[in-house]
Amino acid sequence: MSEYHRDLKPFQDSMHEECGVFGIYSSEKRDLTRSVYYGLYALQHRGQEACGIAISSDNKILYHKNCGLVSEVFTEEIMDKMPEADIAIGHVRYSTTGEDRFNNAQPLVFNGKLGKFAIAHNGNITNAKKLRDQLLHENILFQTSLDSEVVGTLINKYSEDRYIDGILHAAQMLDGSFSMLIMTRTKLIAIRDRHGIRPMVLGQIGLDDYVIASETSALDAVGANYVRDIEAGEMLVISSKGLQSTKWANEKKEFCIFEYVYFARPDSVLEGTSVYQARKESGRQLAKHFPVEADIVSGVPDSANVAARGFAEQSGIPFVEAFAKNGYVGRTFIKPKQGMRESAVKIKLNAIKSNVQGKRVVLVDDSIVRGTTSKQIVQMLRDAGAKEVHLRIASPAVKHPCFLGVDMQTYSQLIGAYRSVDEIRDIIGADSLAYLTIDMLKDACRNKQNSCDFCAGCFTGEYPVKIDMKELDKMVFDD
């Protein structure tokens, strides 16, 4: 796994989105590599393991990808070598497997029967192994362990005169989640799974240039205006003929609620709801329903700070920073050996003694996954002289794994899976612990224009897609 995370929960103590995608269609040839670079830069929090950009220029598809952060992989020298283009797509990847990292970097470029095409995929195809086995029996070989390669192979197999027919055929065969960009030599195609689980938005620059991204913050980064979210079960084709939308499935949208809790940037707006406002409202709800007498409210940096401010606003208890964060701990930070992990958290985060000494502290966090970091953070506050530490979590207990594009696939990784709130409180060592309920969280994330429902599978165990555990077991491909 990556050694760098955007917040202070190292060593898989938080959930991680596996990817971010960004694509651009321009009416005139221009330096799209730099546009995608800025877009991917804005999506770096969604994946730090590898990244890549593919462009369509003069009917050729060219690409560059590698392991590393966007700023490491795309140097000035590399970008100067990429020619001007009409279409480009990019990808940032968070890897869970680690092996063969380079081959698993995206976009994946295929030499298909109608010419080259490239894929950038965010999500997880839950029946990928079954589909892959069928293709292997047809003597089709695979070079990566990516479900996205299975998708590309299906697209090629079912395309006759046009790739879009193959894409529509393949989409009907796929279970799980996908927000995917496909670039042919002349088209940019965006497609979202039948429930719209992972995010995807459409933006526009001027009259004729279009941008597709995982989050609106990436549209802002390239000066694109937000147009709308891509719908669940929609395929949008962007070409010289303009936009052409096809609804290939008609099921209700069930958008990943964890995007609001943790994954997305607070300046993004997803499905019509501002992530910042959703987090602030979650904090307010926590204060309303789980009040506590205290002197200060603080958030675990950075992702819980907004919810902590909401808690402070609602309760009238002042928001005070309890921690200083070391902003220079990057991906080159060397993972300490077992037993030294406590000091690793301390290097990344330190309590501000003068703010917490002798105080009763409400500490707000966005979620608890494994609980090991929460325990260390609570202890850090006590060591700094806090009189009481009351933990308030701006989401329900994570009780179930995610099979839909997030790297948490076993129950044993979750402190909330088999324990009561009191047991968790005792393990973490807080004076009190309370979680937001799922209804409160849903209310905080809904807005009047937004009729979509949410996937909340990791909290409730009810997923929008049928999870075949036997099938999932087989998803660890044999080498």
Which residues have a catalytic role annotated?
A: 19
200 binds ligand SF4 (CB under 6 A): no
Length of the chain equals 479
Helix (H, G, I), strand (E, B) or coil at 322: coil
258 binds ligand SF4 (CB under 6 A): yes
Q: Are residues 405 and 124 in contact, defined by beta-carbon separation less than 8 angstroms?
A: yes
The least distance separating ligand SF4 from the CB of residue 130, rounded to whole angstroms, comes to 21
SS3 for 412-428 is HHCCCCCCCHHHHHHHH
Question: Candidates 3-11, 101-109, 290-298, 451-459 — which segment interacts with ligand SF4 by CB under 6 A?
Answer: 451-459
292 binds ligand SF4 (CB under 6 A): no
User: Given candidates 457, 465, 467, 472, which one binds ligand SF4 under the rule CB under 6 A?
Assistant: 457
The least distance separating ligand SF4 from the CB of residue 178, rounded to whole angstroms, comes to 12
197 binds ligand SF4 (CB under 6 A): yes
Could you tell me which of 406, 290, 458, 475 has the C-alpha nearest to residue 46?
A: 406
Question: Candidates 54-62, 89-97, 253-261, 351-359 — which segment interacts with ligand SF4 by CB under 6 A?
Answer: 253-261
391 binds ligand SF4 (CB under 6 A): no
Could you tell me which of 400, 449, 51 has the C-alpha nearest to residue 270?
A: 449
Question: Candidates 114-122, 228-236, 251-259, 423-431 — which segment interacts with ligand SF4 by CB under 6 A?
Answer: 251-259
Question: Candidates 144-152, 252-260, 331-339, 439-447 — which segment interacts with ligand SF4 by CB under 6 A?
Answer: 252-260
Q: CA 178, 279, 232: angle at the middle one, nearest 5?
A: 25
Q: Total residues contacting ligand SF4 (rule CB under 6 A)?
A: 11
Say how many C-beta atoms besides its own lie within 10 A of residue 465's C-beta: 21
β-strands 85-93, 50-57 pairing: antiparallel
Which element (helix H / strand E) includes 207? none
Question: Candidates 241-249, 256-264, 295-303, 305-313 — which segment interacts with ligand SF4 by CB under 6 A?
Answer: 256-264
> CA 399 to CA 338: how far, in whole Å?
26
User: Given candidates 8, 36, 414, 456, which one binds ligand SF4 under the rule CB under 6 A?
Assistant: 456
352 residue type, one letter: I
Which C-beta is closer to ligand SF4: that of 222 or that of 458?
A: 458
User: Given candidates 118, 257, 296, 378, which one binds ligand SF4 under the rule CB under 6 A?
Assistant: 257
260 residue type, one letter: Y
Ramachandran category for residue 59: left, alpha or beta (phi over 0 → left; psi -120 to 50 → alpha): left
Say how many C-beta atoms besides its own lie within 10 A of residue 335's C-beta: 12
Ramachandran category for residue 271: left, alpha or beta (phi over 0 → left; psi -120 to 50 → alpha): left
Q: How far is CA 277 from CA 69, 274, 390, in A?
A: 29, 5, 23
The least distance separating ligand SF4 from the CB of residue 253, rounded to whole angstroms, comes to 12
Helix (H, G, I), strand (E, B) or coil at 384: coil
x/- mask, ligand SF4, residues 406-435, rule CB under 6 A, reads: x-----------------------------
The least distance separating ligand SF4 from the CB of residue 258, rounded to whole angstroms, comes to 4
User: Given candidates 8, 51, 296, 404, which one binds ligand SF4 under the rule CB under 6 A?
Assistant: 404
181 binds ligand SF4 (CB under 6 A): no
455 binds ligand SF4 (CB under 6 A): yes
Binding positions for ligand SF4, rule: CB under 6 A: 197, 256-258, 402, 404, 406, 455-458
